[in-house]
Structures are given as structure tokens and as C-alpha cells.
Amino acid sequence: MRIPCKFNVQVAGLGYLEETGNADIKENTKLELPVWLAGILSGIPIMSEEGEEVRLLDLLPPDAFNKKIINSIKSNSVNLSLRSVLPNFYSLAERWCFWFEDAAFVEIIQQMLKDRSVVMNDYSFNLNSTNSSNNDEISRFVHSLDNLEKEIFMVCVASHKDAKQWLNS
């Protein structure tokens, strides 16, 4: 997983990250870096030529968090194919919330997970119904889930199966 970044100062010897053949990264250069590396580099304070302390680089919002996606989440998160947005959406969102402490974004993501979890639970309960159109709908929904949601869905399926076995014993 990569995230867009902007370097705030010229950095000697890291030009290979840019893949342009330059030895250095120039100030205001925008690159997509692996999340783990971007997180480390964004936390490094450095002195600018003006003598001010600045961060080595700034993290820029990834495409997965653009206004169109956020508006879709706010309006009807259940119908959003989160997997097509980013297979590890919640993983990146968790890091983003940690880095920026954006309470509004945290609330949006929490509400989305709550809303989608209700549907995951309902579909997991009805997974083995004899209604094939219902199973097609469930299949489409499961294909729209990101990796974390798929794990939650599988826990719901197992829980309903265990509860059914317990009730029948």
C-alpha cells in the first residue's frame, strides 16, 4: 500500500525513491511511498534553510479518501464497494486517523463500520437460505467488502452456525 507525500526540503541521496535518476529529492517533490516508510519519514523533524523546524515530508490524502468517496460513505456506505476503493481501506484509515487525529474522519469511519456490520450480520444469518436471489445479493455484498470486513463477516457466519448448532442440541 502506498500513500502520496510531498517533501518539504531537499534531501540528499534519496533520489532513487523518485526513479528519475537524480541523486537528490528536491523540495516540493511529490511521491507515492509505502505507508510504513511515509509514516516514519513524516515524523522526522528537520531544520529548513530559514532555520525553522519542519517535517521532512507531508502526507497527502490518498485517492481512497477523496471527497467523492467520503460523500458516498456519508450518504450510503452500505452500497459502496469498499474493496474497489481499496482492499485494505480500514487499515489505511486507522493509520490516517492515528497520524492526523481527525475526529470528524474517525466518526465517519466508525459509523460506516457500524452500518456495514449490521448488514454483514444480517447476510451472514441468511447465508444458507434457499432463496437464490438472496444468495446472489449476499455474494455481491461480500465481494464489496474490504479485508477487515471479510474477517468480520466470517466471524458472523461462524457465530450463527455455532448458535444454530447449540439451539439444536
pLDDT, tens digit, for every residue of 105-151?
999 999 999 999 999 999 988 776 556 567 788 889 999 999 999 99
Location of C-alpha cell 490524502: 61
Q: Which residues contact 102 (CB under 8 A, 6 or more apart)?
A: 96
d(CA 3, CA 38): 7
Q: Assign 138 to helix, strand or coil.
A: helix
Q: Does domain 63-168 have CATH number 3.40.470.10?
A: no
Q: Assign 165 to helix, strand or coil.
A: helix
Tell me the whole-structure pTM to 2 decimals.
0.82
Q: What are the residue ranges spanned by the domains of the chain?
A: 2-59, 63-168
